[in-house]
A and B are shown apart, each in its own frame.
Chain A
Amino acid sequence: MFENVDAVMLARIQFGFTIAFHFVFPAFTIGLSSFLAVLNGMWLWTRDDAYLQLWKFWVKIFAVAFAMGVVSGITMSYQFGTNWAVFSDKTGPVLGPLMAYEVLTAFFLEAGFLGIMLFGRERVGDTLHMIACLMVAVGTAISASWILSVNSWMHTPAGYSIAENGQFVPEDWWAIIFNPSFLPRFAHTLTAAYLTTAFIVGGVGAYHLLKGRAGNKSVATMFSMAMWMAALVAPVQIFLGDAHGLNTLEHQPMKIAAMEGHYPDYPDGAPLFLFGIPNEEEGRMDYAVSIPKLSSLILKHDLDAPLDGLNSVPREDRPPVAIPFFAFRVMVAMGFLMLGIGAWSLWSRYRGTLYTNRWLHRAAVVMAPSGLIAVLAGWMTTEVGRQPYTVYNVLRTVDSVSPVAAPAVGASLLAYIVIYFIVFGAGVFYILRLMGKTPTPRDKGVSKEDGPIRTAGITPAAQVAGPGNLPVE
């Protein structure tokens, strides 16, 4: 089974692995930074301590997640060069400026105001601190917009010509940035990030409710806020997902065929496969369970609309089927489960049992990682579905890699895997432990198992060397 593992495959695995690890953190921190800004605003408005308490609870988690997002993101920014040098040479003139704008408009904004947000509340006053919180939240969203513009351009390239030396040359920046799949993809992904955070926050709130802390107002508040997000945003997300799917059908029909498992053409209505095992050799779905014509109804809003299958293009131009097919189903399943939780929470709220319905709380705890699962599944669907191209229909993946030998790529891949699991494993452990602590009105001194409590970075004055506060060495 390793005969296909060459430098290209290893480079793909490396990119996929490092970006999957990275993606988890921004997907969480984009939503969390907005949540923190809202909490801070609510506190300034109402002066209700529950909001400040929540802010202090979540900002520590944010700081840990953000640090992991930063360090894993820096490796991404150099990976284009190390493993995809030909891609970099060719697309640099078009994609480079977009990434440079991401750094200039977003990364610096986040980094510049992060320090003030985390450690500066007492030093700059309420207004500037609120501005810092907003800048961090806005920065994460701006960052997402640029990176999704880059990513979308690789799916639906526009606004370029190709020079004699093989480089893509920009002709129309507006067309490049707002390429045909950018807006649906951006809306779908940004909303996914907010939902991801909502379900993590809701899961943590539900956990504390199950532990009998409903009397703690900040626990009730976080669960309630998260469930509002779930109820209001999950249906919007399903609508946006449908819009994105229609856009993909228009511009990347073979990706849709792979997601749907459609091998043959269906001239008079295509079925929706509920299950099946793709058989790449024979070009059909084995063990298929399908509903006739439903796929045509979903995709074209017409039972009898024709859809082309993968067999309509040469084998070397087809994306692999298994990953998009299964990952897509996982994503959709998560989406509908989220919708269900949102609706359930509305019903419980109406019945007045939002804080006492233990089954809802258990479900919310189980569903806490659902957003992350959906985000990763969706990303795998769209990226594997773009194969065998890096720039859709223009530049092939096999023609994009660096002249780096397989052993070098393999060794670095191994290093990434080992180090990422150690470092980010520890980080996730610390985040889970922070999530499990009860939000308290005041940070109280030093507890042995947690080390010095600080506002995530700067140890508050009393804890660095205050009398009697030094932890046992």
Chain B
Amino acid sequence: MGLEISLNLTVAWAFLLATAIFIYVLLDGFDLGLGILYPFFPQKRDRDLLMNSVAPVWDGNETWLVLGGGGLFAAFPLAYSILMPALYAPVIAMLLALVFRGVAFEFRWRTVRWRAAWDWAFIGGSTMAALCQGIILGAILQGVAVDGRSYGGGWLDWLSPFSAVTGVAVVCGYALLGATWLNMKLMGEPQEKARSLAWGFALATVAFIVIVSLFTPYLEAGYYDRWFRWPNVIYAAPVPIVVGLLTLFLFRALHVHQHDKWPFLLALALFLVTFIGLGISIWPYVIPTEVTIYDAASPYKSQLFMFVGAVVLIPIILAYTAYSYWVFRGKLDPDKGGYH
């Protein structure tokens, strides 16, 4: 009885944490995307608009990253303590990149002389953070050496052609999210530019999804079985089919100018499906083929104590986060400035 409940709670935590990470990827994804797109908008006026479109919410977006890390520490401490040393360099590079881009939100308004430097901090920080997140994803997928209760590999194990590809893939994916967000929030000429950028990054993103999907099953025997062995293929097959359909809808929506919100929503859906695909590959491992969620789980009392709080508080958080987005809804009008 006790064991059964504890198993269920562990599964619930795995889903909760996956959800938190996914929300992070969506929310910080599009605002990191704006930094990646900055070079395509050289004019100060456009850059002001880009930044203003997320200034009230970026801090909340990034908080999901803290929940992801904190949640892993709390619910699966063994996984946290193995993964962080294994991913030492990309994690620290990501954090320092986020330092640069986070302060750029404030600093670039505080100086004229150094504005260009903080614009570059925003570009470099956003791109680097996205790249590192992609590398981290690839490094986890390709497997991490475990020795007892700690990391047992070398300091550059995370670096491989595969993780480099997933790194660039995430940069393109975030740029797609950012471009479709701008297509929704802007008007006139900058919106046209965002839309054309969305085309390019959508193509790149889909190409990377195909490449990564083709490579992933060959990283570990377990992945291959999961995707291609009967009867799993029945459950797995809808994933690529849905990716294909979403891609078609996305290009269609980018083509039809009136539906400014649809490209963003479809890009989010594309992320959701690929995220589910990743889940299918990994489950029930938290460190593929080495540590399962059950191995890494905190004691029942720890998971329960937090679960009660999470179940009560996360809906409240989602409610006031949604309210904040609602307050700052609508398009930024370059002729009127700010929100209107």
Residues of A within 8 A of B (CB): 63-64, 67-68, 70-75, 77-78, 80-82, 85-86, 88-97, 99-105, 107-116, 118-120, 123-124, 163, 165-167, 169-171, 173, 402-405, 408, 412, 415-416, 419-420, 423, 426-427, 430, 433-434, 448-452, 454, 456-466, 470-471, 473
Contact = CB atoms under 8 A, between A and B. Distances in A.
Contacts of B338: 458-461, 464
Contact of A465 (B112, B327, B337, B339): B337
Given A97-B306, A115-B328, A462 B151 contact: no
B83 interface: yes
Contacts of B327: 115-116, 120, 123-124
B48 A464 contact: yes
B91 A408 contact: no
Contacts of B306: 96-97, 100-101
Contact of B84 (A85, A101, A105): A85
Given A67-B105, A448-B112, A457-B56, A103 B328 contact: no
A130 to B, nearest CB: 15
Given A103-B66, A457-B55, 19 more contacts: A77-B70, A80-B80, A80-B84, A82-B92, A90-B77, A96-B298, A100-B70, A102-B70, A111-B59, A116-B56, A170-B299, A408-B88, A408-B89, A423-B99, A426-B114, A427-B103, A451-B111, A459-B109, A459-B338
Contacts of A119: 55-56, 328
A412 B88 contact: yes
Nearest to A64: B106
Interface string B305-335: 1100110011001001101100110000011
From DSSP, what is the main secondary structure of chain A's interface residues?
A: helix
B85 A85 contact: yes
B74 interface: yes
B70 A99 contact: yes
Interface residues of B, number: 80
B53 to A, nearest CB: 10
B112 A96 contact: no
B56 A104 contact: no
Interface of B: 44-45, 48-49, 52, 55-57, 59-60, 62-63, 65-67, 69-71, 73-75, 77-78, 80-85, 88-89, 91-92, 95-96, 98-100, 102-103, 105-112, 114-115, 121, 149-152, 155, 298-299, 301-302, 305-306, 309-310, 313-314, 317, 320-321, 323-324, 327-328, 334-340
Nearest to B71: A100
A420 B73 CA distance: 25
B110 A64 contact: yes
A81 B84 contact: yes
A88 B80 CA distance: 7
